[in-house]
């Protein structure tokens, strides 16, 4: 007669055979029929060594074993393991047609931006302080500097993850819900509140208006062009192995390929393209005469760019087709990678240099290697008290896009290009100009100063 399932017992046991010890275990982590037990390959000559190996195996099996009880043993799984299982489950839902592609992308993006860093800092079991962990993750969302709509969307994605933890039996209740900052105010209530506020203002003896001057991103808040060039140089030296901390386990790139890849930070800064939009750029979309880049697609995060195949592409964000205007000062530098791509990579401007299947992920690693090199050289220069200290890169990978927006909008008197909000909004693919204003409100302040100081001759004004 088969033994009843015991989801809470010890799935690992040690058996002594003469002078040796063997470790047996249940593959699923759940105690069932003894005939289903497996035996760990190899033998142990001391009980202590067998116990040490059994402890490691026991922890792994308990983390992974299945239990239908909410808040039960599935809570032993660590956050990194749970995150991978969640993303796999969402991918299956998309393949089955139960999840829209845009939702899948948003979930993947937010898990990478907010949950993965939390797991890297402290990969705790999901049952240990779920509220504390959820609070840290949600705080990183609200302090991300994104506009309100983006923060709300990220909170929804994290709430979806929390609900999945409950349905899959990891936790008894959604740990994200208490930390979601949402506004349940209805449209009718919002109109009523705004009307009430307007009536109060109309009856007031003082005039107040919210101008947002000083808010949002400005040139001082984004990587300057010198730092972007330093990142490009560090990427070239790092990937060719010509650096103080050469690559390990990676084949060094030849100079031509490395120069092409290291143009990526420059290109993204001069065009304002998003990360995966840049990875999908083909020379057929680059117009050197008009100095524009057509944006109608992006590289899929998974599977990306399989070896020997065409890249896996998807429509650009929000299915929005646009022309991105390239900075004029980048024109001469742009010609080189375009010509190289036509001759060497079938027109793909930033094709994987090492046949990377997961190119979007590996490109992030490539970026981080360059950042780490800059940090090491910066620290070395300070330690050695050198006269010249290399700059640091302290911004997220999305920052070149903000550099593009900030420098394009800032007036020439402040070191920018002085483009209009309308042109920058169209070039960056924002849904409307209000989005651009919310991110780069410093431009509004500069325009107000221009309005205040502008003057022309007005004949016979004073009679």
* Residue 79 · residue 124 · CB < 8 Å: yes
Considering the domain architecture, whether residues 243 and 145 belong to the same structural domain is answered as no
pLDDT in tens, the chain (463 residues): 455 555 567 888 888 888 888 888 887 777 777 877 888 877 788 888 888 888 877 877 776 654 444 444 565 677 877 888 898 889 888 888 888 877 888 888 888 888 888 877 777 777 777 788 888 888 888 777 676 677 888 888 888 898 898 888 888 888 888 877 655 555 677 788 888 888 888 888 887 766 544 456 777 788 999 999 999 999 999 999 888 665 566 788 999 999 999 999 999 999 999 999 999 999 999 999 999 999 999 998 776 787 778 888 889 888 889 999 999 999 999 999 999 999 999 999 999 998 777 788 788 889 989 999 999 999 999 999 989 999 999 888 889 999 999 889 888 877 888 898 899 999 999 988 888 877 875 555 556 666 667 777 888 777 6
Considering the domain architecture, whether residues 399 and 349 belong to the same structural domain is answered as yes
Question: Which class for 140: exposed (0-12), middle (13-18), buried (19 or more C-beta within 10 A)?
Answer: middle
Considering the domain architecture, whether residues 238 and 353 belong to the same structural domain is answered as yes
Considering the domain architecture, whether residues 391 and 252 belong to the same structural domain is answered as yes
In a domain, 428, yes or no: no
Considering the domain architecture, whether residues 54 and 85 belong to the same structural domain is answered as no
In a domain, 313, yes or no: yes
Considering the domain architecture, whether residues 257 and 364 belong to the same structural domain is answered as yes
| Number of domains the chain is built from | 3
Considering the domain architecture, whether residues 242 and 380 belong to the same structural domain is answered as yes
CATH number at 362 reads 1.10.443.10
In this structure, what are the phi and psi dihedrals at residue 41, rounded to the nearest 5 degrees? -60, 145
Q: DSSP labels for 21-81? A: EEEEEETTSSB--GGGEEE-SS-BSSHHHHHHHHHHHHHHHHHH----STTSGGGGSBHHH
Considering the domain architecture, whether residues 297 and 388 belong to the same structural domain is answered as yes
In a domain, 43, yes or no: yes
Considering the domain architecture, whether residues 165 and 133 belong to the same structural domain is answered as yes
Considering the domain architecture, whether residues 352 and 376 belong to the same structural domain is answered as yes
Considering the domain architecture, whether residues 381 and 334 belong to the same structural domain is answered as yes
Q: Whole domain around residue 311: which residue ranges?
A: 219-406
Considering the domain architecture, whether residues 280 and 394 belong to the same structural domain is answered as yes
* Residue 39 · residue 136 · CB < 8 Å: no
Residue 407: partners with Cβ closer than 8 Å, 6 or more residues away: 219, 222, 225, 327, 415, 416, 417
pLDDT of residue 260: 96
253: left (phi > 0), else alpha (psi -120 to 50), else beta? beta
In a domain, 349, yes or no: yes
């Amino acid at each position: 007669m088969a033994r009843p399932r015991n989801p809470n017992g010890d799935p690992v046991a040690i058996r002594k055979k003469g002078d040796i010890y063997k470790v047996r275990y249940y593959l699923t982590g759940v105690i069932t029929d003894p005939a289903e037990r497996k035996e760990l390959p190899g033998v142990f000559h001391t009980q202590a060594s067998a116990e040490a190996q059994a402890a490691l195996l026991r922890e792994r099996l308990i983390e992974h074993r299945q239990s239908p009880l909410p808040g039960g043993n599935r809570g032993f799984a660590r956050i990194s393991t749970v995150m991978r299982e969640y993303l796999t489950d969402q991918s299956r839902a998309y393949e089955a047609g139960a999840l829209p592609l845009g939702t899948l992308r948003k979930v993947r993006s937010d898990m990478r931006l907010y949950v993965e860093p939390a797991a890297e800092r402290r990969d705790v079991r999901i049952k240990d302080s779920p509220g504390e962990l959820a609070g840290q993750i949600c705080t990183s969302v609200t302090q991300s500097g994104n506009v309100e709509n983006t923060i709300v969307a990220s909170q929804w994605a994290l709430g979806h993850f929390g609900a999945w933890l409950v349905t899959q039996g990891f936790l008894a209740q959604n740990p994200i819900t208490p930390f979601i900052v949402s506004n349940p105010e209805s449209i009718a209530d919002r109109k009523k509140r705004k009307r009430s506020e307007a009536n109060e203002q109309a009856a007031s003896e003082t005039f107040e208006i919210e101008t947002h001057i000083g808010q949002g991103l400005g040139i001082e808040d984004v990587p300057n062009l010198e730092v972007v060039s330093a990142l490009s140089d560090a990427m070239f030296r790092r990937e060719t192995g010509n650096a103080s901390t050469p690559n390990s386990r990676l084949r060094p790139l030849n100079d031509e390929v490395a120069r092409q890849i290291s143009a990526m930070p420059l290109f993204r800064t001069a065009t304002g393209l998003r990360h995966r939009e840049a990875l999908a750029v083909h020379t057929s979309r680059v117009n050197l005469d008009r100095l524009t880049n057509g944006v109608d697609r992006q590289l899929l995060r998974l599977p990306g760019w399989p070896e020997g195949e065409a890249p896996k592409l998807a429509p650009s964000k929000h299915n929005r087709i646009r022309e991105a205007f390239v900075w004029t000062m980048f024109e001469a530098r742009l010609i080189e990678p375009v010509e190289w791509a036509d001759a060497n990579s079938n027109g793909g401007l930033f094709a994987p240099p090492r046949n990377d299947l997961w190119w979007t992920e590996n490109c992030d690693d490539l970026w981080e290697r360059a950042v780490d090199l800059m940090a090491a050289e910066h620290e070395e220069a300070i330690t050695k008290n050198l006269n010249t200290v290399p700059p640091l890169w302290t911004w997220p990978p999305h920052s070149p896009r903000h550099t593009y927006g900030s420098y394009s909008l800032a007036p020439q008197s402040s070191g920018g290009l002085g483009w209009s909000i309308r042109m920058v909004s169209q070039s960056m693919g924002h849904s409307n100009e209000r989005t651009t204003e919310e991110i780069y409100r410093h431009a509004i302040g500069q325009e107000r100063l221009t309005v205040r100081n502008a003057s022309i001759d007005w004949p016979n004004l004073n009679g």
